Chains A and B, each alone.
Chain A
Amino acid sequence: MGRGDQDKRERRAREQIDKALARRDVESAVDAVLALDKAAREPLLALVAPAFRHALPDMQKASAWARLHTLAARAEQEPRLLSHAADEATVANARWPLFLACMRARDFARAGRIWRLLVETVNARVPALARAITAWIGGQGHISPQDVADLDVDRLPALSAADPRHGTESRTQLHLAPPAQPTSSAAAKEALYLLFATQPPVIVAETLRAWLERAPTDVATTLRKQGGSLALRELLLQASSGTPLVVPAQLLARLGDGAKDDLAQEILVATRLLITRVASKTPKRGESEALDALASALVRTTPFEDLAEILARDFARVPELAALARVTCQSALSRAASLPDQHLIPLWIQALHLNAPRPEAEPEDQLGLSGPTWLQAASREVCRRGKALANYCSKLDGHARNRMLSSLRWGQPGEIVADIMDVLWKDASEEVRGDLARMLPDFIEMAEQQSEYQLQDSLSLADMATVERIALAASKADPDLPFLAAGGLSVWRRFGLRSLPYCAELLPYALSQASKPSHRFEIVQAYVGSRVDIDAWLEVIAELSLGEAAMLPSLMVETCHAMIERFRTDRIALAHAIGRIVKLDLPFSLLKDVAHAYQRAVLADSAEPTSEDEEAQTLLRLMLGDRPKKSPGKSRTKRTKKAPRKTDPRSGTGQLELPLDENDA
């Protein structure tokens, strides 16, 4: 390299340094110096070294530790940056921030090299400080309390107050780290006491969980027993002070999970406490879930495990224990296949009641589309034991049976409910069949709603074929009769006709499924066919009178005529029918037709009148006595005056006074 080039480089370096120093950019000035040969740096160091030494304390005050750490490396490359034209004290003062920056950057090797140049100065004036700093470097950033014992640290200026809003954390009140994982049972006890004494409950729970995952069996047993006892103490302390119980309760439940009977007493106490809390109607957030967790642990303990079946039934009488009952039922029914009939069926019925939706439940939940799988599995098991179920149901009183049938609809898909109804029907008494038939309209409605939700899913999946099929069926349906889509239709096809004789409310569904109008009367006959009393006919007529479909009045009249034909010789049945027609407020024309039939029956029957006759005649006199038959060409008044009235020769009182057609007479 020629002398000219050298000059040029030095000139350029000088220009850079001037500019850098003008803008107080010490790093650039130092870089410009270091870019030159060592020999060529000397004249420029006179400019840069004082600025360098001057900048270091400022950086320390500004906590610019990263910049200081970089400059410490530069100072090692060119020691004259510190020492050029400076006395020993100035150099030591300049080295100090560089040393601290290396310690903070955990660059202990460089810190040690700088410290070797400082130690003599420090040791001469404060040997205790020199010892502490030497230990600090030797401990790679850690100092034992003994190493600082000789220093009065209280003389140091107070540290800035903690202010999380500014990101300033407390450094004097550091949280101690949780103790290390214990490796023996004895160490486990000490570690647990230290853990519970120093850490907040959330950290305790988290630490214990981590310890249990890695602990050998004997240590884990100690951790569970001792930890459970301490968790209960914490729980009771919280309860005593009225604070939330969730964290210690969940911890105890988790510890109890693998402890079998080691923590049975603690879990029982905690469960009782949570029951009181939940039953108080003012539980804190998460306490209901904590009770579920505790109850799950409790029913796995020996004293409660063999009682699960009994408990699930008895708890129904204690409302506060509903949560516990639900868990107990679940626990027992999850092994439904191994339960004897006498336990399985009452437990399953209890579970049905417990899973019936609350009024505030979401519509989807109310439909039972998201019912628990364990209940569905238990229902299938019950279905396999249909005879036992039918036998059990036949012994229930009407209220209990209807409650069971009502709860059966919730919490499980329609096909399971249908299967259970099927097995119940097979061996059921006439009374139970009547109950099942009366449940059918609700069941059909629920199946329809389930179909609707499934249809919405189909729509989202662009299953247009299904949508079109249902739309086509709906367009052909009678708008005044209930339309059954896929869900309700399959239920109807399975149960409709056999249930019809038991429940007149099913008639509209039956009529809606009639393929031709002429079939509708056949359906009515199917309902009344198996019934020998006139009440079945009257129920049909009453049901038809409530409908809005255009064809119903004619069907009602047709049914009424069929009824009259069927009972034309039964005077008492017709008298009873008159009373019911008036009571049900059925159309007047029907009353008139039945009255005529009754009149004919009276004339043909020589038996003595009964109380039914007297009641019917009283009603007829009230309803028809002043409504004479209107004849063509004659006024009502005239006809009333002129027409001879028929009287019942056997009544002796002339009570029956019905205007009859000429044909009737």
Chain B
Amino acid sequence: MNPADFADENPFHVLGIVPTLDPVAIKRAYFTALTKHPPHSDPEGFKRIRVAYEALGSRGEAASHVLSSAIDIEAELATLRAHHDAALAGAGQASSASAADAARVTRLTEGLARLDLETALTLFGREHG
């Protein structure tokens, strides 16, 4: 197989790492992949990881690949949700309780404004009568 056939593959995907600009991480991933695809026993696999590694050879190329790599939205979201969702839910519940209280007060003041005194006293007096 021609090395050009691998050119369209995402090199980070081939090397089995998340997109990164860290040259040490890229090199480490390359050597790890090399142990799985040694050139003498798996020449095709070796060519594939070699093309991927060379595609990340310059810092500019690596940055281009990082930026043009598709993003796993759900995985990124799961990490952030694990970090924030409990606190957000707590804040949301507290604010819901506040909102309910505020709505109760509003309902009283607005409701009284629509009643004459006798009706209001009769309405609320029933619970005490």
The residues of A with any CB-CB pair to B shorter than 8 Å are 57, 60, 63, 89, 92-93, 95-97, 100, 103-104, 118, 121-122, 125-129, 132, 136, 142-143, 145, 148, 151-153, 155-157, 159, 171-174, 176, 189-190, 193-194, 196-198, 229-230, 232-233, 236-237, 239-240, 268-269, 271-273, 275-276, 303-304, 307, 310-311, 313-315, 317-318, 320-321, 324
Judging by beta carbons under 8 Å apart, are A129 and B120 in contact? yes
Judging by beta carbons under 8 Å apart, are B73 and A239 in contact? yes
Q: Give Cα A303–Cα B81 distance, bound, in whole angstroms.
A: 26
Q: Shortest CB–CB separation between residue A175 and chain B, in angstroms?
A: 9
Judging by beta carbons under 8 Å apart, are B102 and A174 in contact? yes
B1 on the A face (CB < 8 A): no
CB-CB contacts below 8 Å: B12-71 with A: 19, 21, 58-61, 63-64, 66-71
The residue on A at minimum CB distance from B65 is A318
The residue on A at minimum CB distance from B100 is A145
Residue among B59, B68, B108, B120 making CB contact with A318, cutoff 8 Å:
B68
Please tell me the size bucket of the interface on B. Answer: 35 or more
Q: Which residues of B contact A317 (CB under 8 A)?
A: 64
Judging by beta carbons under 8 Å apart, are A126 and B125 in contact? yes
The residue on B at minimum CB distance from A316 is B64
Q: Which residues of B contact A126 (CB under 8 A)?
A: 120-121, 124-125, 128
Judging by beta carbons under 8 Å apart, are B128 and A128 in contact? yes
Q: Can you list 20 pairs linking A and B with CB atoms under 8 Å apart?
A: A96-B117, A96-B120, A121-B117, A125-B121, A125-B128, A129-B120, A143-B108, A143-B109, A148-B105, A159-B107, A159-B110, A172-B107, A174-B99, A176-B98, A236-B77, A276-B70, A276-B71, A307-B63, A311-B64, A314-B61
Residue among A92, A143, A240, A304 making CB contact with B77, cutoff 8 Å:
A240
Judging by beta carbons under 8 Å apart, are B59 and A307 in contact? yes
Q: Give Cα A196–Cα B92 distance, bound, in whole angstroms.
A: 9
B8 on the A face (CB < 8 A): no
Q: Shortest CB–CB separation between residue A645 and chain B, in angstroms?
A: 64
Number of A-B contacts (CB under 8 A): 178
Contact mask for chain B residues 85-129; partner A; CB cutoff 8 A; 1 contact, 0 none: 001111110110011011111111111111111101101111110
Judging by beta carbons under 8 Å apart, are A100 and B128 in contact? no
The residue on A at minimum CB distance from B93 is A197
Q: Give Cα A376–Cα B31 distance, bound, in whole angstroms.
A: 47
Judging by beta carbons under 8 Å apart, are B111 and A156 in contact? yes
Q: Which residues of B contact A57 (CB under 8 A)?
A: 116
Judging by beta carbons under 8 Å apart, are A232 and B73 in contact? no
Q: Which residues of A contact B118 (CB under 8 A)?
A: 89, 93
Known: A155-B123, A198-B95. A272 touches B103 (CB 8 A): no
The 3 closest A-B pairs by CB, nearest first: A156-B111, A310-B60, A145-B101
The residues of B with any CB-CB pair to A shorter than 8 Å are 19, 21, 58-61, 63-64, 66-71, 73-74, 76-77, 80-81, 83-84, 87-92, 94-95, 98-99, 101-118, 120-121, 123-128
Q: Which residues of B contact A153 (CB under 8 A)?
A: 104, 107-108, 111
Known: A126-B128, A153-B107, A237-B77. A193 touches B63 (CB 8 A): no
Judging by beta carbons under 8 Å apart, are B73 and A233 in contact? no
Q: Give Cα A346–Cα B46 distance, bound, in whole angstroms.
A: 35
Residue among B84, B108, B117 making CB contact with A132, cutoff 8 Å:
B108
Q: Give Cα A422–Cα B60 distance, bound, in whole angstroms.
A: 33
Judging by beta carbons under 8 Å apart, are A321 and B64 in contact? yes
Judging by beta carbons under 8 Å apart, are A193 and B87 in contact? yes
Judging by beta carbons under 8 Å apart, are A125 and B92 in contact? no
Q: Give Cα A173–Cα B100 distance, bound, in whole angstroms.
A: 8
Q: Give Cα A171–Cα B117 distance, bound, in whole angstroms.
A: 22
The residue on A at minimum CB distance from B69 is A272
Q: Which residues of B contact A198 (CB under 8 A)?
A: 91-92, 95, 99
Judging by beta carbons under 8 Å apart, are B80 and A233 in contact? yes
Q: Which residues of B contact A229 (CB under 8 A)?
A: 80, 83-84
Q: Give Cα A159–Cα B90 distance, bound, in whole angstroms.
A: 30
Q: Shortest CB–CB separation between residue B97 and chain A, in angstroms?
A: 9
Q: Shortest CB–CB separation between residue B129 and chain A, in angstroms?
A: 9
Q: Shortest CB–CB separation between residue A653 and chain B, in angstroms?
A: 55
Q: Shortest CB–CB separation between residue B68 and chain A, in angstroms?
A: 5
Q: Give Cα A610–Cα B44 distance, bound, in whole angstroms.
A: 57
Interface centre among A136, A145, A239 (most CB of B within 10 A): A145
Known: A174-B103, A269-B71, A269-B76. A318 touches B123 (CB 8 A): no
Q: Give Cα A113–Cα B106 distance, bound, in whole angstroms.
A: 23
Q: Shortest CB–CB separation between residue B88 and chain A, in angstroms?
A: 5
Judging by beta carbons under 8 Å apart, are A273 and B71 in contact? yes
Q: Shortest CB–CB separation between residue B105 and chain A, in angstroms?
A: 5
Judging by beta carbons under 8 Å apart, are B91 and A194 in contact? yes
Q: Which residues of A contact B71 (CB under 8 A)?
A: 269, 272-273, 276
Q: Which residues of A contact B91 (CB under 8 A)?
A: 190, 193-194, 196-198
Q: Which residues of A contact B99 (CB under 8 A)?
A: 173-174, 176, 198
Judging by beta carbons under 8 Å apart, are A174 and B106 in contact? yes
Judging by beta carbons under 8 Å apart, are A157 and B106 in contact? no
Q: Which residues of B contact A128 (CB under 8 A)?
A: 124, 128
Residue among A95, A173, A273 making CB contact with B103, cutoff 8 Å:
A173
Q: Give Cα A145–Cα B115 distance, bound, in whole angstroms.
A: 21
Judging by beta carbons under 8 Å apart, are A155 and B124 in contact? yes
Q: Give Cα A303–Cα B117 distance, bound, in whole angstroms.
A: 71
